[in-house]
Every structure is written in structure tokens, then in C-alpha cells.
Chain A
Amino acid sequence: MTLDVRTERPSPDRLVLHLQGRLDANTYLEFDGAARPLLAELPTGATVVLDMAGLEYISSAGLRSVARIRKTTRALDGHTLLLDPQPQVRKVFDIVKAVPVSEVFTSTSELDAYLDRIQKKIIDDTDGGN
């Protein structure tokens, strides 16, 4: 079984990557290759959501890919959020403490609420700045 990546752009500063299958030493190159052009287009403050509902398996190679995405968004002053990782994947993330717990969400609504808060905060900051 291989990896299947589906991309979604609900807004210009938000990239959603739907992962399906395995993210391991065999597939991470493919994933990196798919993600790199998308990441390059992202504006400052963009948010990448990795939808892991369909991800069965992740190994350290996959973790390194996730790390690379996180580094990219961080450089853009943005966020990389994980959505609904399956127990096996969640376990791997927990073991290596890969992502802050606050940035892992179990459902889309939870994620949306969080994104709304961020949005609001940015606007408030902008207002404050004025």
C-alpha cells in the first residue's frame, strides 16, 4: 500500500493535505515532492492542515517530512496543524513528542474553532497595531 495525497485550498492562506496510506521511508520522497511546490506558494502567516484521518502508518522518515513542513510554516510565521491522527500514528507522535498537543485536533469542527480564534487574534493584533 502506498501513499495518496489530496490537496485542498479552502483559502489563500490555508493549505489542507489529506494523507491516505503509509508515510514511510518508501513514500516520504513522494510526499515531499508533492508538498514542496504547494509550500513554496504559501503567503506569510499561512496555515497548513495535515489531515491524517486516512494515514495508517508513519515512520521516522514520515516524521522528518512533517518536521520539514512545520519548519517551513514556522519560517512563514504560520502554523502546521494535525487533524485526526489514528491511534497508531498518534502513538508515534507521542513517543517522539513531535508536535505540541495544542496543535493536534481530533475533528474538523475543533480545528475550525481554533482557526477562527487565530483569525480573530490576527485581526485584533492588526487593530491594536493601528
Chain B
Amino acid sequence: MRGLRSIASRLALWSLLGSALVLTAIGMLLLGHLRQTWLRSAHREGGTLALAAAHGIEAHLARAAEVTRLLARLARTRSELTEQLASDALNANPDLAGILFAWTPDDPAHPPAAPFVDRRPNGSLSRRDLSHDGTRYWEQPWFRTGLDCTDGCWQKPFFSQSRQERLINYSVAIRLAGRSIGIVNADVTLAWLQSVLGPLKRPDGALMFVVDQEGRFLAHDGIARLGLAATPELRQALAMTGDAPGELPAGVDPGVAGRAWLYRAPVAGTGWTLGLLVPQAQLESSLRHLFIRELSLGLLAMLGIAVIILVVTRRTLSPLATLTGRAEHVARGELDFTLPRVRRRDEIGRLTHAFDRMRRQLAHHLEQLTRATREQERLRSELEIAHQIQVALLPSEHYLDARCAMFELHATLRPARAVGGDLYSYFMLDQRHFCLMVGDVSDKGIPAALFMARAITLAKALAPRARHPALLLDQLNRELCQGNESCMFITLLCGVLDTSDGRLVLASAGHEPPILYQRGIGRLIEVTTGPAIGLDEDAGYVEQELAMEAGDTLLMYTDGITEAGAPDGSMFGIERTLASLERMPLPTTPRDFTARLMADVDAFAEGCDQTDDITILALSWHHRSRENAGMLDLTLKTTLEDVFAALERCESALDEAGVAAGTREDVRLVLEELMVNMVHHGHGNPSDGSIRLHLRADEGIVLAELHDDGMAFDPLQAASPTLSGDVADAEEVGGLGIHLVRAMASELAYHHDRDGNHLQLRFIQPDQTESPT
């Protein structure tokens, strides 16, 4: 039992309550109506009963009155027989208690006989003569009143001393020759009147009584009240004329509790009134009983209906309970369950079908969602890996020229999504030239990232051969134009820094102009720019040279900086960029530059999502003096004399620079091997060529550069000699020199361009622990 939470119970309860309410309302209306009708009929009955009772009393009284009037006529002529007449009359009429004949005396001293025959309680008759008892009856009021009753009238009740009870008498005047000569009095006891009243019909609980003209009770169902006066309210009600019953308040008669209805009827010929008091409670109790019985029956019927509704609804809605349970299964994600059997195509049936469809659809969607989530998860992890790979494509953020700290670089790249299309890169082209670039691929996200990866790897691969930024852009453009169906392009700013003197050669492919900061003031470097890379295969690029001085910082960036948007739609712009880095305190290191600018852009664009990748690269030129490093710069002809003279100068220069003897010998050996090689094999005519030798010693490291205009020869690529352990084994001894070069030099770089062969060599003294970059 689910109590009131079940619809069936609620439905049954509410229909029961509703029906009960309606029934009660109708019942109250009905009760009012019924009460009116009931009262009317009760009043009619009460009036009829009162009238009938009055008639019954009248009949009894009329007989006594008839006898008395007859005696009065007889006494007119037979005055001497009056006593006999009285005895006979008493014997014949048990209703009468006594008869008196009294005469108006002609001489009050000798009144005539006034016989009075009286019925004793034991039934025998007694006789006496009132004329001699000294009461002087002719002077009594009852006698005088009686003389006026020519047609007979009822006197007031009085208390008889002789009988010790209350009596009333009916007096008829004896007339002779138009004059009243005496009266006949017939006594009737009130007990008799009472006995007349007794058997009369009346409703249960009703009170019947008779009052005289003065409102005294002549008869009353409560005997104790005989002879007493009625209450004024009762008298007033009795005095009212008309047939309407009188409604009396409580306390009008001790015999009746509460409010009561009074029905009255005059007793004809007496001036008396008969009253019937019916208590209101009595009148209504039967009505109430009837009503309560009907109401109980109605409620019982309602209860029955409620039970039927309960049973029917529960039975009808039972599939709903099952569906509710199944819905909780669905909420838990369990979709495999049985549904209630569909019995008919009503709302429940349709709901069950819909539920089944919903379950299937839901299962389908869940499966799809799981698949999609898995797919998304996979994609996300792939993106994460892609991000790591892309980061790995970029060199580290900070670069300090480790050899002589001539320049320092700091770069920051922040993609708008996991992967982006911005790029920066830098690397040493050779011992002297440092290549750096910043680029921005059109579009964002994965396609841009792939294009960026292609561009950055290509650039790094092409740069050592191209050596010049314009050439690099040119080659990169040609490579990237191939198969570029999606017409993606990249803007690129590329520079090559000569680390020996700070000359920076720049070439731009549609990229933002760099900013040069000198002594705290930034200015845009207008680089003549070619088209963006990847669009036009025949595009050409021009170079521009910039001489950096000590303390200068060059800032390269992408449009993620200038086009960073604020919530109000404005863009960061180039003025803000310039101002950001001219603000005090002036940034000193490249890291300060990138951090300051990034922070300002972030503050500007606060509240907006980053829409484009952001890249900043700052290059600071420190310029350490060359003189301190023991420089040697020689140009010599390709003859052995020149070579050995140069070797001598090298040795003495290194000696002066404090380079250890072992290293000195190594340097000499390597230089000799290389230069002798150049003399012997570089040119058709040995003495035509020239060799440029550049030597520098710095903090235990010896750097040597050899440039010659002879035939291309890469000592790194030369075949290694077969080392059998005995030089005498080989038929033709060769390649030993190059082998020595490779073994002795700590680092060796070679490239060849239109100017000839370029070799960079690096020697680290044995006691130095610095690792090569």
C-alpha cells in the first residue's frame, strides 16, 4: 500500500470527499425544505388535535348544562319538589357532583328553603338546606352572578370547604314572569374535568391544558398546576386570535423544556380555552432521526462508490506503477527490462508503447554518445600529443650565445587552441651566422599546425644551403607551393645574424614589420616584403640589412599581438605594442621584453578568449669586444710558404692568448692538414687561390674559420682511411690528414656556397668542461 502517494487512493479519497460534500449540501437544503413541510403538517395535526379535544370537553359540559337548564325550567313550576329533582338528576348524571336550588328571599329574615344535594366521595348523596346555615347566600357574589345567567353560565372555580376540593358550577337563573327568582347551581369537580382531558389524544411529550377566562388552569396534564395562573407569555399567546400556532420561548411552562409550539381551541359555551403545548425538540427529533438515517445511507453509498473507484483505478493504473519503477531503472541507466503487457490501446497502452520506444531510442543514443565520447577522448589525447610534438618542433624559449654571449634570444609561443599555426625557430647556420625566424600560418588549429610543421622542418633543412634569408624564403616558397591545394599560406620574417659584428640581414614574406628598440625607444623597421609563402611560386624576396648595436633589441611577433581584442571590440594595435615596451622601467633582457608584452596583451584582452596564436621573439645584441679574444684574421695565397708563415703566426698568437701547448699543436696540425690540402688539391694552378683564416681564442676555446675559393671539398664527407695498425701496409698512403683533422677538432662544420668552402672548427682545451652547443 503506497497510501496517499498512489493516484488510486487519492482519486478514491477525493471522490469520496467531493461526493460527501455535495451530499451534505443537498442534504442541508433537503432538511430545510423537509423541516418546513414537516412543521406545517405538525401544526395542522396539532391544531386538529386541539380542536378535537375542545369538542370532546364541550360534549361533556353540554350534557351537564342541558341537565341544569332542564332543572331550572322544572323548578319554576315545581318549587317544592326541588330536592327530589336534584337527587334524581345526580343519580342520572355521574358527571355532576352536586345540585343546589336557591331562591331570592322575599324576606331576608325568613328565607325559603334552598336544598343542596351533594355526592359524597363514597357515592351516597347528602342533603342540606343552605337557607339556614347563616351564610346568607343571597348576598354572595356567585348567587348574584347566577341570577344574570338566564341561559346558563359557568362560574369561577372555587374551593369547597365541605368537599375539600376545587369545584366549578354551572348556574342557570330560574325565571318567572320575566324575572329571575332563583338559580340552579350544578357543581362539577375539576378532577372530573381533568378526567375528561385524560383520555384525549395528543402527541408524545405534548402537554394539554384548559384555562378559564382569567388564565387559571382548570385542567392540566400536570395536576399540580390546577388552579394556578398561567404565565403571562402563555396567557398572551392564548389570547391571540386566528388559527396560526403560537411559538413560545423556553420556560413558558415547567412541564415543557425548551421552545414549544402552542395550539389552542376555544371550548364553546364556557369562555375557556384548550391549549396543546408541543415542545420544539419533540417536533424535530423525529425529523432529525429520519434525516440522520437517510444521511448515513447516503454516506454508506458514497463509501461503496469510493471503494469501487479505488479498486477500478488501482487496477487500471497498475501498469503505471510498473512504468514508474521502470523509469527509475532508466534513470539508473539500466535499459534492459520487461514492460507490462499492453491490454488495450488506451492512454496507458500508448504510454507503454511510447516508453518502449523511448527505451530503445535512449539505448541507441547512449551507445552513440559512448562512441562519440570515446572518439572525443581519443581526439583529445591525440591533440595533446600533437601539442607536445609541436612544442618539440620549436627550439627552447631561451638562447644565450654560449661561446661569447654576444647575443641573447627569448621567444614565447602561445597557441589559441591545443595546436596552432604560429612558429618561431632559430639555429646556428655555421659558427658565425645565426638564423632566426617568426611565422604565422593562415587559419588555426590542426591544418595550420600541420602546415607549420611542414614549414618549420623545411626551413631548417633548407637554411644551411640557402644561407641568405631571401634565398631561404624563395626556396621555402617553391617547396610549399607544391601540392598546396588548400591554398594555405604562411607569413614569415626571417633573419640571419652575423654574430661577429651584429649585422642582421632580414627578409619578409608578408609578415608584420619587426620593432627595433634602441635606448628605450622602439621603431618599426620597414622591411620590403614579398608575398606570403605558399601562394605564388614565382614570388621573389629582397633582403635588407640592419646593423645592431650594443644594447639593441629586435622584437619579432605575429598578428596575435596587434590583433588581440578587448571586450569592447578594440584591438591592441602597434601603438600599444610600442608603448608597452617603452614604459619605465625599461625591459633589459629579452625575457623582460616578451614577458612585459605578453602581460600587457593579457591585461588588455582580459575577459576575451584568445582568438589567435601569439608569438613574440626578442633578440638582444650584447656585442662583446673582439680585441679581448685574441683575434687573428689572415688572408693568404695558396702556397706552402704562405701556409707555413700563417701557421707560425697562429702559433704565436695562440701562445700569446695563453692557449696550452697541447691544444696549440692540435690546432696547428689541423690547420696545416687542411690548408696543405687546399694548396695541393684546391686549384688547377696551386698558387691562384686564396685562403682566409680567422682565429679566435676565448676562455679556453679556440675557434678557427677557414674560407677558401677552391673546389668544393667537404672533409666531413671524405672516406676514412683503412687503418691496419701499420702505415706501411697501405699501398698508397692517403686520407691520414683528414682523419687527423676529424680526430683532433672538437667540432667541425662545413658548408659550401658560391664563395667557396667554409669550415668552422672548434677546439676545447682538455681542462675545460664546457659542453658544445
Contacts and interface: CB of A to CB of B under 8 A. Distances in A.
B739 A74 contact: no
B725 interface: yes
A60 B676 CA distance: 10
A97 B740 CA distance: 11
Nearest to B731: A71
Contacts of A92: 669, 740
Interface stretch (A36-44, A61-69, A113-121): A61-69
Interface string B664-699: 010011001100100000000000000000000000
Given A57-B665, A60-B740, A64-B736, A97 B672 contact: no
A87 interface: yes
Main secondary structure of the interface of A (DSSP, over half): helix
Interface of B: 640, 643-644, 661-662, 665, 668-669, 672-673, 676, 721, 723-728, 730, 733, 736-737, 739-740, 743-744
28 contacts: A24-B672, A25-B640, A25-B643, A25-B672, A25-B676, A59-B672, A59-B737, A61-B676, A63-B733, A63-B736, A70-B726, A71-B728, A74-B728, A80-B728, A87-B662, A88-B661, A92-B740, A95-B743, A95-B744, A96-B721, A96-B727, A96-B736, A96-B739, A97-B724, A98-B727, A99-B726, A100-B725, A100-B726
A121 B405 CA distance: 65
Interface in A37-91: 56-57, 59-61, 63-64, 66-67, 70-71, 74, 80, 87-88
Interface of A: 24-26, 56-57, 59-61, 63-64, 66-67, 70-71, 74, 80, 87-88, 92, 95-100
Contacts of A88: 661-662, 665
A60 B730 CA distance: 14
Q: 10 tightest CB-CB pairs across the interface, nearest first? A: A60-B737, A70-B728, A67-B727, A60-B736, A98-B727, A25-B676, A97-B723, A88-B665, A95-B743, A97-B725
B728 A95 contact: no
Contact of A95 (B640, B665, B730, B739): B739
A36 to B, nearest CB: 16
Contacts of B724: 97
A87 B643 CA distance: 25
Contacts of B727: 63-64, 66-67, 70, 96, 98-99
Contacts of A96: 721, 723, 727, 736, 739-740
Given A67-B728, A67-B730, A95 B740 contact: yes
Contacts of B730: 67
Given A60-B740, A71-B728, 11 more contacts: A24-B672, A25-B672, A25-B676, A57-B668, A67-B728, A67-B730, A70-B726, A96-B736, A97-B723, A98-B727, A99-B727
A127 B661 CA distance: 52
A92 B723 CA distance: 13
Tell me which of B665, B668, B727, B737 has the highest count of chain A C-beta atoms within 10 A of its own C-beta. B727
B741 to A, nearest CB: 9
A59 B668 CA distance: 9
Contacts of B726: 70, 97-100
Most chain B CB inside 10 Å of its own CB: which residue of A56, A59, A66 = A59
Nearest to A27: B644
B673 A60 contact: yes
Q: Which of B721, B723, B736, B743 has the most chain A CB atoms closer than 10 A to its own CB? A: B736
B726 to A, nearest CB: 6
A56 B740 CA distance: 17
B672 A64 contact: no
Interface centre among A66, A67, A88, A96 (most CB of B within 10 A): A96
Given A63-B733, A87-B662, A57 B669 contact: yes
A74 B727 CA distance: 12
Contacts of B640: 25-26
Contacts of A59: 669, 672-673, 676, 737, 740
A76 to B, nearest CB: 12
Contacts of A98: 726-727
A26 B739 contact: no
| Among A60, A61, A64: residue with most chain B CB under 10 A | A60
A51 to B, nearest CB: 18
A63 B676 CA distance: 14
Contacts of A95: 739-740, 743-744
A99 B676 CA distance: 24
B4 to A, nearest CB: 103
